[in-house]
Structure 1
Amino acid sequence: MRNPRPALKNTQQEVHIFHVRSLLALLVVIVLTGLLMGRLVYLQVVQHEVYITRSEKNRVRVEPLPPTRGLIFDRNGQLLAENRPTYNLTLVRERVDDLDATLSLLVELLELPEEEVDAFRQRSRQRQRPFQPALLMSDLEEEQIARLAVNRHRLPGVEVEAQLLRYYPDAEIMSHALGFVGRINAEEMQELDVGNYAGTHFIGKTGVERFYEDELHGQAGLRKVETNARGRVLRELGRTDPVPGQNLTLTIDKDLQALGHELLAGRRGSIVAIEPATGEILALVSEPGFDSNRFVTGIDSASYQALQEDLDLPLFNRAIRGQYPPGSTIKPFLALAGLAEGEITPGETIYDPGYFQLPNDSRRYRNWLRWGHGRVDLERSLAVSNNTYYYTLAHELGIDRISKRMHDFGFGERNAHDVFGESQALMPDRDWKRARFNQPWYPGETLSVGIGQGYWMVTPLQLATATAVLANHGEWVKPRMAKRIGDTVVESVLPETKADIVLGNDAWWDHVFAGMEKVVSGSEGTARRIGGDLRYRMGGKSGTAQVFSLGQDQKYNAEELAERLRDHALFIAFAPVEDPQIAVSVIVENAGGGSTHAAHLARAMTDAWLLEPKDNDRDVEALLDAEE
């Protein structure tokens, strides 16, 4: 029997294959259509701003016009911060086809050192608004500008802009008082009003430049220009002029500031001078300083690391952030606290055998003069800086009343109106110690506070401020750096000024002043060496702050200690006593006794402020030689 012939066509299988192929074709069409639509949405919606800007850039371009930064003057009109013309290199990333190739070409043309290349490339990628120029390099040299001009056709999106660059004529002298400007970083860019800072590459980083940034910066402008396809400007279609920043006149006296710098002569320390009646800061010296101009255009990493690793800490503003035990400089304030609290009277005396002992305690808290001063009243206690008197007074007052009364003078608080970065330092009490160490406050710690040691820390600015309040008979005037903003005079009565200090008897101020006069003019005064030829009445108080703690019966010998473990020298002063015009605080780190190594610096500052040049013939070098 013959086999049936196979079917020539399997209709059912062919239909199945057709359906499968049709479905696959449909899926491919759907996927491709989806990709096409997705791309259209991306280009038309997501990238709409970029491409419409690119289109307009071929014809019309809006360019920011940065404002001119305000100048800074001292109280006498001497220029402290100016703007110098310079050429900057900028880059608009959106107009660059190959960023890496462009950057490599720029590195070659500019002949950048290897250590600066990474920072240069990093600046090119700093976050910016679309089509806003990123600052790559400042203060270009003429040869660099010439090379860039010759190769301009190879550098689309790269421009050389003429701008004004901040310059400080007396950089090292004014570095800590003024602060400095620097390049805007990515974090600052997120916080700034981008529209107002369009085209601006620098912002105040520290000091006055930082605090008064809004006033100094001004308002940005813009101009609309027509360009060709190569980006070359054909004509200007319109403009809104920028509003320049306001000029700032400081209370600082440049000559007095320079004198403070010269007096410290490179030693670590600070000198602060304040006009008591107005609170105007006349000098804010911190030594050593640094060249703030190097930070404007961007200091190289090696130089910055060297400054950071310098043991003398030139970048540290000792005047407002340095924290030191105040030593005996606080005795006038403690005396007023004792009078106000009724624990002492001006004529009351104690007998000083050379030490003080707490009840039921064998430890002796010694006077600096080991055999004692005998009978001591308030005025003599200040003149000879007797410790036993203030151990006794501190024990009677207790830490709570001491802390409260010292806060009245501004210790442990930020007091200045416009000093950026000011530290509040530390005025301890039992609550602070419990929170910090979870320990009770001990009576012996109160005695240490009574002579300005222990946990108590002050800044030079705090010490000068308290001295100014003391000179004012308790009237508070907030310290400030700005005298005029533009044409507007800064009022001396500022918000959040502390309440005046009122004593039960105004004559108590005079008793404390008399004791402080005897410090510099009395026969027993600790700083009598500076008072022999005084032409005005000065009140002062020396202080010596321990850095290295001694044992019960150890005697201090500076020559046996490393230099950085030696005592700090301090001195406060105001003059004239009858009408105070200047209050000064001086701190010289690891110098030794305040009466020997700091008092003459305060005298030089008050002489310079109060006497006419013809009457002030004291030579700075002679002063320093006399100290030695």
Structure 2
Amino acid sequence: MKIDKKNGINRYAALITIMVLIFVSILSRIIFLQVVKGEDYKAKADSNSIREIPETAPRGKILDTNNKVLATNTQSYVLVYNQTDEIDQTFFQTMDKVFKILDENGETQKDDFELKINPYRFEFRSDDPKTQKNLELRFKKDRGMDSYVQKKLFGDKSTDKLTTEDKAKIDEELLKITPEETFKFLVKKYNINSSKYSLEKQRRFMIIKDTAKMNSFSGYKPVTVASNIKRSTALIFLQMLNELPGIDVDTQPIRTYPYGEVGSAFLGYISKITSDDEKYSEKGYDTSTDYIGAAGLEASYEDRLKGSKGGKIVKLNKQGRIIQELGSRDSYPGQSLKLTINEEVQAAAEKALDTKMSELRANPSAQQRSNTANATRGAAVVLDVNTGGVLALASRPGYDPNLFSTPGSLSTDLYNQFFNPDLKAFGKNYIEQRGLMAYYPGETEDEVLNTLFPVDKSIKNNTTVRKDPYDIYAKPLFDYATQSLIPPGSTFKPMTAIAGLQGGVITPGFVVDDEGIFDKGGGNYTRFTLDGANGPVDLISAIQKSSNPYFMTVGGLIKKALGSDGLAKYAWKFGLGVPPTSDEKPSTGIEIPEAFGQVYNMWSMKNLYASTYLYKTMQTLKSGGDNGYKFTPIDLYDNDNDSSKVKDIKKKLKESIQGSIKDGSKSFNKDTYNELITNLVKEDPQYKDKGISDKDIKSMISCIYYTTVSDANSQINVTAPMYDAAIGQGMNQFTPLQIANYIATIANGGTRYKIHLVDEILDPNGKVIEQNKPEVIEKTGISAENLAAVKSGMAAVNEKGTAAGAFQSFSIQTAGKTGTASTNNQEAVGRTDYSVYVGFAPLDDPKIAVCIVMFDGGQGAQSAYVARDIYSAYFHLNDGSDSGTSSTGQ
């Protein structure tokens, strides 16, 4: 065959040309990637391998007055996971190995993940249902579920075009997504193979994946897989790092409370940030991982205790190992608190309360008129009478703060006990045990349940979350010492004595013949069957025997001579409320959250009745009449469909009703009521075809007059409320802390101090940087003679009166007062009397004052035994007297 050389050369040249062009193209691309884009790709590669490893600052210590450590930090080993794109490809294999090692060594994976399984549910650390709903919304939105719902509801409508109604609709739909549906959404989002792994394993993977995702919002930080692991476990992981890409071992401080439950009421606890409040981000917190003080001093002094966070910027290799440290910043410990608390006294108070309440529950029928089977809540406050420092502040039941700071400690049962109690199951059991169906003839158990533990109607579409309006369920996280308002009962009688003496209406020799009965007027007789008749009593014996007729008589004299606020004016000096129209802050001064109660006074009385009887009037109008008045019903309750005119008319009608309740006939204007009701009928469409006549309106006005003027206002102005107030009942309600401060003021001669827990603030080296000196709030001006007379009566209480059983053979002289405080209709809700005791010691040179309260504890003498044990601890006494249950006393 003949070869065409010319064509062969041409084809060869063409091939060479093509190859040259290809090589030039490749070379150009290489040059472009390495030279032109080289820095960009290098930066991207570096950014993927550069991490910030935060260093948690040790929180400041909390010490008692003798430098005993109540809260501190212990260095612990933590297992972390550094995620990179390369490592993520082997995530599931790596974590399988990690979980196996943790399980074999008895370690617990860190689990702050609020989405639980078996059953599917959310566990948010709040006992407020509304807050729980807000936290659920935040949880779902942080994980992108709102975008899914938005697209489903509004298609491609952009977020900035959404109206307020649109956003509300998204929230509503988000809340309809069940925990199970949420779980499945995240399984898909995180590419977890649901067919390959068990449900438990899926969730364990999800915790790590989710934490990494949340961390990415504020930079790529390591994920803590397990904290507080044993040293031996840490060594196992260190030996296996080459087999576990991304895994590393580090150390960090963990908050610990050496005495467990002791002092939990004022110490509080720390918890992962759950609020969506931006203030934490603004203060430099990482809201996805950081812990903050959630209650007590841990919360109140968060800014002082938290310290300054440190960390280092490092470069990782493909295996997630640190190959270079690029920069660092040391952490700095927080400031420490030295308290006025005496740990020994605190522990004694808690133990004594627990012991006595256990005795009361074991012998529920030992006391006359009391069933103490539910004596499950109590409080004790011990004050230094000369400084206002808190020596002990106990609230029972308590809790162990370590449960919240130590990973894996807060079980589901404990979570439910703290944040999500099953009040339906508890309530049914409570009703049956207390035999309460007898108080509700014709009603079913479910109806009684809805009375005692009603469904919380303030939560939209709620059918399961219930309230505890009668304070029946024992709440460990609730501080009964500072936040519970209780009637003081007979422990208030020394206050009535002071007002009577200082007001000049009685002398210590004033005598009343106590026949065991008292006439409140109008044929309203009160018989004191528990006390019986005490015969003629003067001031000292009246305090000793807790004579109700004596102090009710004194109350009446005070009102007659000093006016309706005559008693209150003296009580306010002792911190039992503040003048309601003044600018004075209602507070004892304590550094942790507190409620603040009020003594009987006319302004508060009028407002209380105005509120109570307004709703009674509204109910009567809605039901179509009462007390012989009949008419076509009208509704003054707020309605979402009300027009602005209807809302305004209803508002004015309610204001008129409240004015009539407060001021009686002088503010009752028939013409005003007639005009307002006529306008309401005209403007509100619901009355269009009701045919409400002038006769109906006239009958309504007469009914309103009867309820507001004849009933409510007439009760405000009688002396009966003063009689009740004089013996610590009626509207008198205070916290145990307030009551203790009032007694301390008597004990020290009439000076009321600001209450405080913190004595000193220390820097990390223990140097004092701030000291709280005793601060006088008020010098009451009560004469020494009058205080001495009251103290003599209180000494007689412990020597031969209602608390004598507790203080027989006690080695120091003390003074006190028992109180048996009741509330309206308490038997029908299964409650019994509060057992209250107040006192101070020693008698001749008082150092400390106490207030003890046991809810459903019966007679006040029972609480005196708790006080005796507190005195023994404070004064280091070996008191061997019997602490058996007393069966008498108020």
| Superposition TM-score tier, normalisation by shorter sequence | 0.7 to 0.9
- The structure-2 alpha-carbon separation of the partners of 1:235 and 1:567, relative to structure 1 and needing over 3 Å to count, comes to same
Say whether residues 1:516 and 2:791 are aligned partners. Answer: no
CA shift, 1:572, in A, is 0.4
Q: Which residue of 2 aligns with 1:202?
A: 291
Say whether residues 1:317 and 2:479 are aligned partners. Answer: yes
Do the aligned partners of 1:320 and 1:421 also contact (CA within 8 Å) in 2? yes
1:3-22 mapped onto 2 (5 Å cutoff)? none
- The structure-2 alpha-carbon separation of the partners of 1:103 and 1:592, relative to structure 1 and needing over 3 Å to count, comes to farther
CA shift, 1:129, in A, is 2.0
Structure 1 unmatched ranges of 5 or more: 1-49, 551-560
CA–CA distance in 2 between the matches of 1:626 and 1:369?
14
1:210-359 mapped onto 2 (5 Å cutoff)? 210-225=299-314, 227-228=316-317, 232-265=321-354, 267=357, 268-296=377-405, 297=407, 299-307=410-418, 308-309=420-421, 311-359=473-521
CA–CA distance in 2 between the matches of 1:460 and 1:131?
49
Q: Which residue of 1 aligns with 2:854?
A: 588
CA–CA distance in 2 between the matches of 1:420 and 1:256?
20
Do the aligned partners of 2:798 and 2:804 also contact (CA within 8 Å) in 1? yes
Secondary structure at the aligned position of 2:276 is classed as: helix
Do the aligned partners of 1:478 and 1:492 also contact (CA within 8 Å) in 2? no
Do the aligned partners of 2:758 and 2:772 also contact (CA within 8 Å) in 1? no
Do the aligned partners of 1:57 and 1:231 also contact (CA within 8 Å) in 2? no
Q: Which residue of 1 aligns with 2:699?
A: none
- The structure-2 alpha-carbon separation of the partners of 1:590 and 1:96, relative to structure 1 and needing over 3 Å to count, comes to farther
Q: Which residue of 2 aligns with 1:557?
A: none
Q: Which residue of 1 aligns with 2:883?
A: 623
Match of 2:593 among 421, 428, 437: 421
CA shift, 1:570, in A, is 0.9
Secondary structure at the aligned position of 1:584 is classed as: strand
1:59-138 mapped onto 2 (5 Å cutoff)? 62-89=52-79, 95=84, 102=91, 106=95, 109-110=98-99, 114=117, 117=203, 120=207, 123-126=211-214, 128-133=217-222, 137-138=226-227
For residues 167-223 of structure 1, give each alpha carbon's deviation from its aligned partner in whole angstroms, at most 9, with x where no partner exists: 112212222231111222353564354436699722111112111222221222343
- The structure-2 alpha-carbon separation of the partners of 1:357 and 1:181, relative to structure 1 and needing over 3 Å to count, comes to same
Paired AA for residue 233 in structure 1: I
Say whether residues 1:537 and 2:813 are aligned partners. Answer: yes
CA–CA distance in 2 between the matches of 1:97 and 1:135?
19
Do the aligned partners of 1:427 and 1:456 also contact (CA within 8 Å) in 2? yes
- The structure-2 alpha-carbon separation of the partners of 1:107 and 1:509, relative to structure 1 and needing over 3 Å to count, comes to farther
For residues 282-305 of structure 1, give each alpha carbon's deviation from its aligned partner in whole angstroms, at most 9, with x where no partner exists: 111111212221111362444211
Secondary structure at the aligned position of 1:512 is classed as: helix
- The structure-2 alpha-carbon separation of the partners of 1:624 and 1:530, relative to structure 1 and needing over 3 Å to count, comes to closer
Aligned-residue Cα RMSD (Å) equals 3.6
For residues 472-516 of structure 1, give each alpha carbon's deviation from its aligned partner in whole angstroms, at most 9, with x where no partner exists: 22212212111221132623334xx5222112x321111111111
Say whether residues 1:165 and 2:254 are aligned partners. Answer: yes
Do the aligned partners of 1:368 and 1:386 also contact (CA within 8 Å) in 2? no
Paired AA for residue 429 in structure 1: N
Do the aligned partners of 2:338 and 2:761 also contact (CA within 8 Å) in 1? yes
Aligned length: 556
Q: Which residue of 1 aligns with 2:470?
A: none
Secondary structure at the aligned position of 1:583 is classed as: strand
- The structure-2 alpha-carbon separation of the partners of 1:391 and 1:102, relative to structure 1 and needing over 3 Å to count, comes to farther
CA shift, 1:248, in A, is 2.0
Match of 1:182 among 271, 288, 310: 271
For residues 60-118 of structure 1, give each alpha carbon's deviation from its aligned partner in whole angstroms, at most 9, with x where no partner exists: 6554333211122221122211212223455678x568989958974884366955838
CA shift, 1:457, in A, is 1.7
CA–CA distance in 2 between the matches of 1:380 and 1:122?
70
- The structure-2 alpha-carbon separation of the partners of 1:216 and 1:544, relative to structure 1 and needing over 3 Å to count, comes to same
Say whether residues 1:490 and 2:756 are aligned partners. Answer: no
CA shift, 1:445, in A, is 2.3
CA–CA distance in 1 between the matches of 2:275 and 2:93?
23
Do the aligned partners of 2:55 and 2:252 also contact (CA within 8 Å) in 1? no
1:388-407 mapped onto 2 (5 Å cutoff)? 388-398=549-559, 399-407=564-572
Q: Which residue of 2 aligns with 1:435?
A: 607
CA shift, 1:587, in A, is 0.9
Structure in which a larger fraction of residues adopt helix: 2
CA–CA distance in 2 between the matches of 1:318 and 1:277?
24
Match of 1:606 among 849, 863, 871: 871
- The structure-2 alpha-carbon separation of the partners of 1:146 and 1:433, relative to structure 1 and needing over 3 Å to count, comes to farther
Do the aligned partners of 2:380 and 2:853 also contact (CA within 8 Å) in 1? yes
Secondary structure at the aligned position of 1:76 is classed as: coil
Do the aligned partners of 1:65 and 1:199 also contact (CA within 8 Å) in 2? no
Say whether residues 1:507 and 2:788 are aligned partners. Answer: no
Do the aligned partners of 1:124 and 1:135 also contact (CA within 8 Å) in 2? no
CA shift, 1:542, in A, is 0.5
CA–CA distance in 1 between the matches of 2:740 and 2:532?
33
CA–CA distance in 2 between the matches of 1:51 and 1:388?
91
CA shift, 1:338, in A, is 1.7
Secondary structure at the aligned position of 2:312 is classed as: strand
- The structure-2 alpha-carbon separation of the partners of 1:408 and 1:241, relative to structure 1 and needing over 3 Å to count, comes to same
CA–CA distance in 1 between the matches of 2:872 and 2:352?
13
CA shift, 1:155, in A, is 5.6
Match of 1:375 among 536, 554, 558: 536
Say whether residues 1:574 and 2:840 are aligned partners. Answer: yes
CA shift, 1:608, in A, is 2.3
- The structure-2 alpha-carbon separation of the partners of 1:608 and 1:368, relative to structure 1 and needing over 3 Å to count, comes to farther
Q: Which residue of 2 aligns with 1:412?
A: 577
Paired AA for residue 295 in structure 2: T
For residues 356-394 of structure 1, give each alpha carbon's deviation from its aligned partner in whole angstroms, at most 9, with x where no partner exists: 2234x1011234566522222222211111101111222
Tell me the TM-score normalized by structure 2. 0.57
Tell me the TM-score normalized by structure 1. 0.78
Do the aligned partners of 2:378 and 2:480 also contact (CA within 8 Å) in 1? yes
Do the aligned partners of 1:221 and 1:241 also contact (CA within 8 Å) in 2? yes
CA–CA distance in 2 between the matches of 1:82 and 1:144?
23
CA–CA distance in 1 between the matches of 2:117 and 2:94?
14
Do the aligned partners of 2:57 and 2:253 also contact (CA within 8 Å) in 1? no
CA–CA distance in 2 between the matches of 1:66 and 1:418?
29
- Using the TM superposition, name which of 81-90 and 240-249 deviates more: 81-90
Structure 2 unmatched ranges of 5 or more: 1-39, 104-108, 110-115, 119-199, 358-376, 427-472, 579-585, 611-660, 662-712
Q: Which residue of 1 aligns with 2:744?
A: 468
CA–CA distance in 2 between the matches of 1:287 and 1:536?
28
CA shift, 1:446, in A, is 2.2
CA–CA distance in 2 between the matches of 1:100 and 1:61?
19
Do the aligned partners of 1:353 and 1:372 also contact (CA within 8 Å) in 2? yes
- The structure-2 alpha-carbon separation of the partners of 1:202 and 1:394, relative to structure 1 and needing over 3 Å to count, comes to same
Secondary structure at the aligned position of 1:476 is classed as: strand
Q: Which residue of 2 aligns with 1:37?
A: none
Do the aligned partners of 2:264 and 2:401 also contact (CA within 8 Å) in 1? yes
- The structure-2 alpha-carbon separation of the partners of 1:100 and 1:293, relative to structure 1 and needing over 3 Å to count, comes to farther
